[in-house]
């Protein structure tokens, strides 16, 4: 069997969609290694892959997590991680390297080892018509001007990187958009903006779901219809005031409001209406399967799970690619969007009432549900990787291929 090495950012939004793909490749008989931080070791080991830990333990996100600080963080991480990653990969001797589109050290390692590589896009694919968050832009320039220290750090890292390693093919700035001859995008062609502009190297394989474990402690028997669900993700801090505003806005419209508070202590929300259930962590697919509405930050993992369940969304984007995702949901009629600074109780309640009362939103979400499921998901992603290996001449025939 072939050996496939995965390299990725140690973030839920980047790792979670890859786990079903890795598990399927292992099931087909491939040897898979995965470079990650300790926080993701257990989940990755559960797929059957061999974990290779990045040195230095769990690395915090840049603060604040905005494009200019992300660029500096990615460049700095690439300089520090490449030597140990290259040592590991020389021992592993992979036939294929699969890396996140925002994982430049994966791309540089593949070039230096002369190993075929594929890139994974866990949000949208990006080009001139669908610009990535780290593209060259006036917004990026303005943010850079306000943070000259960050810019100096980025330039130092890029100079050091080019001095030590072969960085041909690596974007000068757009380090969240590293492409390869095969690019797997974890959404459907129907949901991808400007899909006609992307050539055959882009394969829109749909959502790769199934990585979230069930939670037997969650009181599912307490959920009364209609279930309205609120989750603002784990990267940006929503804060108790915003979460409380959502809970009080939605309570009069709901049988049960479920609020996932993440890093915020549920007690910090204060007294809540009796039909509000606030917990740090919620089994999201289970709740979405019963939900009539999802209030979300617009992270692609959450959006994909909502579309997989056919649930209309009220999107409250906070940063990164979330405003683009919010616009796309509104364009396709599967939801509405509101800015976080405008998300007081009354406007949220008014938008939620529209989403619940107007059938067109649920119809649009249902149509996207079909498109997302028909794209193929993790099984199609595994198929595409095996086909790519055969084209590059680096893979033996597996038992799955023989069938």
DSSP secondary structure string for all residues of 242-292: HHHHHHHHHGGG-SEEEEE-TTS-GGGG-S--TTEEEES---HHHHHTTEE
CB 3 within 8 A of CB 31: yes
Q: Where does residue 124 fall: left (phi above 0), alpha (psi -120 to 50 degrees), or beta otherwise?
A: beta
Residue the block writes with tokens 């890029």: 158
Residue 236 has pLDDT above 70, yes or no: no
- Pairing assessment for the beta strands 313-315 and 291-296 based on DSSP bridges: parallel
Which strand (E) or helix (H) includes residue 233? none
For 242-278, how does the pLDDT look when each residue is reduced to its tens digit (9 = 90+)? Answer: 899 999 999 999 999 999 988 888 999 999 999 999 9
For residue 331, count CB atoms less than 10 angstroms from its CB and return exposed for 0-12, middle for 13-18, buried for 19 or more: exposed
Residue the block writes with tokens 């603060």: 63
For 25-83, how does the pLDDT look when each residue is reduced to its tens digit (9 = 90+)? Answer: 999 999 999 999 999 999 999 999 999 999 887 776 665 667 888 899 999 999 999 99
Tell me how many degrees the CA angle 306-6-45 measures, rounded to the nearest 5: 75
Structural domains in the chain?
Answer: 3-206+376-402 (3.40.50.2000), 220-373 (3.40.50.2000)
Residue 199 has pLDDT above 80, yes or no: yes
């Amino acid at each position: 069997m072939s050996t496939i090495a995965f390299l990725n950012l140690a973030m839920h939004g980047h790792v979670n969609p890859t786990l079903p793909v890795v598990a399927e490749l292992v099931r087909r008989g491939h040897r898979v290694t995965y470079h990650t931080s300790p926080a993701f070791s257990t989940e990755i080991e559960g797929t059957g892959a061999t974990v290779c830990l990045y040195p230095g333990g769990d690395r915090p996100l840049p603060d604040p997590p905005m494009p200019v600080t992300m660029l500096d963080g990615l460049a700095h991480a690439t300089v520090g991680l490449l030597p140990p990653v290259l040592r590991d990969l020389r021992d592993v001797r992979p036939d294929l390297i699969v890396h996140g589109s925002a994982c430049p050290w994966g791309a540089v390692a593949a070039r230096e080892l002369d190993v075929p590589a594929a890139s994974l896009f866990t949000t949208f694919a990006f080009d001139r018509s669908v610009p990535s968050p780290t593209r060259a832009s006036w917004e990026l320039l303005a943010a850079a001007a306000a943070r000259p220290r960050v810019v100096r750090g980025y330039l130092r890292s890029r100079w050091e990187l080019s001095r030590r390693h072969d960085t041909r093919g690596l974007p000068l700035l757009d380090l969240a958009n590293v492409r390869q001859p095969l690019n797997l995008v974890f959404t459907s062609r129907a949901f991808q903006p400007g899909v006609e502009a992307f050539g055959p190297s882009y394969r829109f394989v749909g959502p790769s779901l199934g990585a979230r474990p069930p939670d037997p402690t969650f009181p599912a028997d307490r959920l009364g219809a209609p279930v309205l669900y609120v989750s603002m993700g784990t990267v940006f801090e929503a804060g108790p005031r915003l979460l409380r505003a959502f809970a009080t806005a939605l309570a009069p419209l709901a049988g049960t409001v479920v609020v996932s508070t993440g890093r915020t202590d549920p007690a910090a929300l204060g007294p809540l209406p009796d039909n509000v259930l606030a917990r740090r962590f919620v089994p999201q697919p289970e709740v979405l399967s019963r939900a009539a509405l999802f209030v979300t930050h617009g992270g692609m993992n959450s959006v994909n799970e909502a579309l997989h369940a056919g649930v209309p969304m009220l999107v409250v984007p906070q940063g990164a690619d979330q405003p683009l995702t919010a616009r796309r949901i509104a364009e396709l009629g599967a939801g509405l969007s509101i800015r976080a600074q405008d998300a007081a109780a009354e406007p949220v309640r008014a938008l939620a009432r529209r989403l619940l009362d107007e059938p067109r939103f649920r119809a649009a979400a249902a149509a996207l549900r079909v498109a997302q499921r028909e794209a193929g998901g993790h099984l199609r992603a595994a198929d595409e990787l095996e086909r790519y290996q055969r084209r590059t001449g680096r893979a033996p025939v597996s038992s799955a291929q023989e069938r």
